[in-house]
Every structure is written in C-alpha cells, then in structure tokens.
Amino acid sequence: MRFLYCTLAFSELVLGVGLMQSKAQQPAAGTANGMAAPIVSTKPRARQLGVPFDGHPGALDAITDVAGVEVGSTTLVSGNGALKVGEGPVRTGVTVILPRGKGSIDPVYAGWFSLNGNGEMTGTTWIEEAGLLAGPVGITNTHSVGVVRDTMIGWGLKHGVVGDAWSLPVVAETFDGYLNDINGFHVKPEHVVAALDGAHAGPVAEGNVGGGTGMVCYGFKGGTGTASRVLAEEMGGYTVGVLVQCNCGRRPQLTIAGVPVGREIPDGAPYAQVSPLPGSDAAGDVGSIIIVVATDAPLLPHQLKRLARRASLGVARTGSISGNGSGDIFLAFSTANKDADKGPGPNSVLTVSNERISPLFEATVEATEEAIVNAMVGAETMTGRDGYTVNALPHERLQQVLKKYNR
C-alpha cells in the first residue's frame, strides 16, 4: 500500500488513502485526488512539555514568523518488510522554503557555512560569489538532490519566478538510508511540485514530515523542526526563524536544556550506538544536519554568513561534535532590502551595524537549539526497511530527566 502525505506549512494534509483501500483505488503520487481537509497537528512541542529554553519566541515559534517566508513539504511512506531496491520500504520526502513566498522573483541576501562538509548543499558557490539567493530552498535525502534541483528549475520557469536565463537552486540533503530505500529514488518531480505548490505561511509541521521523514537524531527519531526568536524593541525588534532537518549525533551526546538526556535514556539506540565500535569513527556523528536561518533584519551577505556560523553553537548546545561522518551545512538569508539587486542600479540598502548584531547571533543559537529539540519531540517511532525501528524520544521520560536535574 502506498501513502502520500503532502504537508503544507500549517498542516498535515493527506493525499493518500486509508489502510483498507486497494492500490487501484489510490490516487497517483503527487495528485490531489481524495484530498482531505487540513488537519492541524495536536502533538505537543518541546515548550509544552516544559523544556526551558532561553529567549522569546514569535507567535508561531517557527521560521514562518519571519514575514513572507513559506514552507511546504511532501512526505512519502509506503511498504514494510525486507528491502527491495526500487520498491521500498519508502520513508522519505522533500521540504521546501520560499524566502519571499511563491509570488516573488526578488532574490534575498544570503550567506552559508559548512561546519563539516560530509554532505551537500547545491548553489552555494554562487551565494558565496554574489551574496544572493534566488528562488526556493529544498531539503531531501542524499540521493534525491538532483531531481529536487531540476524540478525546482522547471517549476520556477513555469511560474515565472526564475528571474534570469539560468538558475542555480539551493538543495541540501541528509541520509535516510537506515529506514528508507534510498537507492530506489522514490522522490519524483510531482512530489517536489506538490511541496512547492502547497507551500504556505503559518504553523510548520514537525517530526516525520517532508525531507525529515526517515531521519534519526541522537539515536531517537529525528526529522523536521523549527523555532523562532523575536528581539526586544531596543535591540531592533527583529525576528529570527530557524528550520532544521536533523539527522545527527550519538545517543550519549544528546543534551537538552543543559541536561545529559542521552546518557539518562541510553536504551533503544540501534543506529546511533551507545558505545563506539572498535577501530571505527563511531564516537563521532553518524548523520547530518541542515539548518536554514531566516531573518527580517537588514543584513548584508557577509553578516548573514556570520549568522549561519552561529547555528553551529545551537547544534553544540544539543551535544553534537560535528564528527567526520556528519554533513553540517547552514544557510542564512534576510527578507529585508527588497529590490536590492534590481538593475541597473546603483541601489540603496540598509544594514544593521556590526556593533548591534550580537543579539541576532544569540537569537540564532537559541532558535537552532529549540528547533532540533522540537524535531525530536514532534517525531514518532518509525519502522522502515528490513524491520529496522527507531524509537521516538519518550516525552514522559524526558520530563522525568529534566525534573531530576531541576530543569
């Protein structure tokens, strides 16, 4: 049986059908046949469980608190049992972020940073050169980067949001091959289009959704997470939003609100082993994390690169050492300075003074930390290929551990 979930920014929208329907009754992947009404997730988030975080979140505590930002995703879950390459089981998907929404061709200033380069984020050489990001950002599994990239170009041409005669989309990845038939290439163009067409402002679904569907984080089920921070008016009143696709870390490393949660809950970590394997790099990370930082603060590209670097400190707060096997790549963009690249110029732009940028660094660190924890809190236990199971972070035990350490 095949189930396709197209997750809009504010919901988990089911495009597939129920367990009792036959394959012949199901809609084709990527179509809207049998579309159900949007269902807003009722799963608790980390703050609702009592996890104490620093800083002040926005109304949604999500990257979409930055005005204009839209998020969409398509989730692919089908099949059980032994791996049959090309058939499944499938536990994957794609997530997209549109900095100025679907209707804009105006690029944004951007900067990127690689904490550890065992991964991929396309389009970054041009960001480094020009300081501009044009079009959506995609996140998927390692072997689906190409189809997401190419489809984003075609979608942009069709919708008139490719402003030049060429396009260098930004698409990043993390590895979901422990649970997913990653060599089956199950992410198709129609799935990317569904995510792009469905992108929306509002609350963002977390956990086993989109590109984060098959991910593992600190030996617990990982996935997609988001958070935001709003600066006080005297610090500019700016908003910083973060979205992560987390697939990183070893269980003993996991730290939440300063508490060694991974060491207190060591059981059930078949993928991110508790003990290093002799002669291996198992003491390091075994996965990756992609982080996208958005802000409405008027920052120039070199300042946004500084912001992207600070995401590293948010990851470190959760315990990761960014080991050799981890692809930890971060992107930051600003929705301020509209028409900054409008020809023929010259154009006037605004910028935050470097003497006033530290609160934005702090907001990035705080939101990154919370987004990672939100991804784990929002995820659910998943069984994938060959019966491999990754358990979700148990909410009650997390609360007990936090209480033990007076947090």
Q: Are 195 and 74 in contact (CB under 8 A)?
A: yes
The reply to whether 288 belongs to the active site is yes
Q: Which of 288, 312, 320, 334 is catalytic?
A: 288
Q: Are 381 and 389 in contact (CB under 8 A)?
A: yes
Q: Which of 11, 144, 326, 334 is catalytic?
A: 326
Instruction: Say how many residues make up the chain.
Output: 407
What does the buried/exposed string (b/e) look like for 247-275 if buried means 16 or more CB atoms within 10 Å of the residue's CB?
bbbbbbbbbbbebebbebbeeebebbbbe
Q: Token digits for 186?
A: 């199950």
Q: Which amino acid is at 367?
A: A
Q: Which of 176, 197, 328, 341 is catalytic?
A: 328
The reply to whether 326 belongs to the active site is yes
**Count of beta carbons in the 10 Å neighbourhood of residue 282:** 17
Q: Are 168 and 128 in contact (CB under 8 A)?
A: no
The reply to whether 328 belongs to the active site is yes
Catalytic site positions? 288, 326, 328
